[in-house]
Amino acid sequence: MSEIYDISVSELRSYCDKLRIGDKVLLTGYIYTSRDAAHKRFDALLNEGRELPFEMKDAVIYYAGPTPAAPGKAIGSCGPTTSGRMDKFAPRLLDCGLCAMIGKGERNSEVIDAVARNNAVYFCAIGGAGALAASCIKSCEVIAFEDLGCESVKKLYIEKFPVTVCVDSNGGDIFKEGRKAYCKA
């Protein structure tokens, strides 16, 4: 039986060992956007022994490239992108202290192992609902790689942002379990 949680990003780490696949979470606090190009730059910075543009410990990365904001809005449409494109970078960031990732779609076994090893979590947001996601985003500030445009790293403040636990800290994978349940039925 899945649960529903209302969690502050600052307290998320203390919930990671309680959250299970299928649980629903309303997440509030500061998170960061990052996609393929920014992840490549993170990797290069780490290889050079340089600092990342934000503190990775207990951070949450949202795999999104928001559109420009309309007048009076904090952000434009901001739906999740396919997470698998970040799979080659995610284990290293998790090992640096990343607490959670938000995206859509499956993750590879290396990411699932890293989520479990680091007491982290992978959330899925609703794909195709960028306007809904944007309604939960109250502020947006570009903090790194402005030259990447919509793929620049942004610091977002979110309120009650709806996500579902898709990989939990025990290595539970909603995609694998969902297939099993479907085939069994």
Name all domains of the chain by residue range, CATH numbers in brackets: 4-184 (3.20.130.10)
Task: Divide the 185 residues of the chain into consecutive groups of 10 and give the mean pLDDT of each group.
Answer: 92 97 98 97 98 98 94 94 97 98 98 98 90 93 96 98 98 88 72
CA 73, CA 96: separation in Å to the nearest integer?
33
How does pLDDT run across 97-141, given as a tens digit for each residue? 999 999 999 999 999 999 999 999 999 998 878 888 999 999 999
Whole-prediction pTM: 0.95
Active site residue 57: no
CA 67, CA 134: separation in Å to the nearest integer?
10
The single residue of 35, 39, 41, 104 carrying the catalytic annotation is: 39
Closest CA to 64 of 17, 110, 104: 104
